[in-house]
Structures are given as C-alpha cells and as structure tokens.
Amino acid sequence: MQLGIIVGSLRRESFSRKIAENVARLLPKGVEAEFIDIDLPMYNQDMDDGGAPPESWTAFRAKIQSCGAFLFVTPEYNRTIPPVIKNALDIGSRPYGKNVWGGKKGAVISVSPGAIGGFGANHALRQAVVFLDIVMLQQPEMYIGGVSKLLDKNGRVNDGTEAFLKQFAARFGEFLGV
C-alpha cells in the first residue's frame, strides 16, 4: 500500500511534521510511506481552463493518483485547517470531474501546542475530504494536544506518546487491509 503523508505545516521545525515522522516509522509492514510536498501555488481555475496548469500541480496530481491512501497531519490555524492543505485538496479535486482523491482511504491527526489538540482542524479537514470521496478512518480520533511537551530535542516522542501512536498505526494498517 502506497501511503501519501501530507503535512499541513510548511514550518521548518513543524510539530506536525515531527509527529508524522514518528508515525511513519511505526506503520506496519506492507505500508510504504512517502511525504508529499504541498508547497503549491494557489489554485486558480483559469490555469486549468487555459490548458496550461503549473507543472507543480500536474506533478502533485500524479503523485496523489499513485497513492492508495493518505495520512493528513495538520496543525490548527484559527480553529480550521491551514490554507496549504485546503489548496492541496482543491488542486487534487480539479478540474471538475477529475478528482484524483476519490475512492481512496485516509486518516487525520491534528496537532497543537494547546490543550484541545487541534479539534477544530481535525473536523474541518474531515468535512472537506468526505466530499472528495476519501474514506476516512473513524476511530481512533487523533488529537495531539500539548505537542511541544511530547517531543525530545531530536523530534522523537516520549514513550507514552509512542505507544499511543503505535496503536493508531496498527489500527490504520488494519483499516488499509495490510
């Protein structure tokens, strides 16, 4: 199973990226994980309508098409998802009728230094991807609050968090059929 990992933070020291890296090393055998870059120009339908979308859009769409499932790891910005994730979802779902996300499986982990673990972002992302026909893992719901206290200086999670992520990775693997 080719798993695309999409991290909703472009920040160099991204907590979301560090959590995603920890999960990637815990995935079961049979899951091949690849981080997919989403530093993309904003979607503008005129570029698709003109028949000359940016090369980065074309490469991104091909990469999404090649994956069988996705793990979204997102911070919360103002109680919702960061614009880079929304833009990536839009680029992959356009032009109309050519949605490359459809029929695939996915899961979401939201990450926050705050106590509620990105609850708003988690549910905003779920709302968007359901419309795009991504079948989402329902349980366990993954909200990681207080993330700055869970990582060591090398970006590794503490033992308790690793056990939590390991349970998630095992359940996600079952959901993916591996």
Whether pTM > 0.85 for this model: the answer is yes
**CA–CA distance, 57 with 130 (Å, rounded to integer):** 22
How many domains does one find in the chain?
A: 1
Residues (pLDDT < 50) of the chain are none
Residue 74 pLDDT: 98
Residue 40 pLDDT: 97
**Residue ranges making up the domain that contains 124:** 2-176
Compute the Cα dihedral for 115, 117, 119, 124 and give only its sign. Answer: positive
Residue 4 pLDDT: 98
Residue 28 pLDDT: 97
Q: Which long-range contacts (CB under 8 A, 24 or more apart) does 46-50 make?
A: 48/94, 48/95, 49/95
Residue 131 pLDDT: 94
CATH code of residue 40: 3.40.50.360
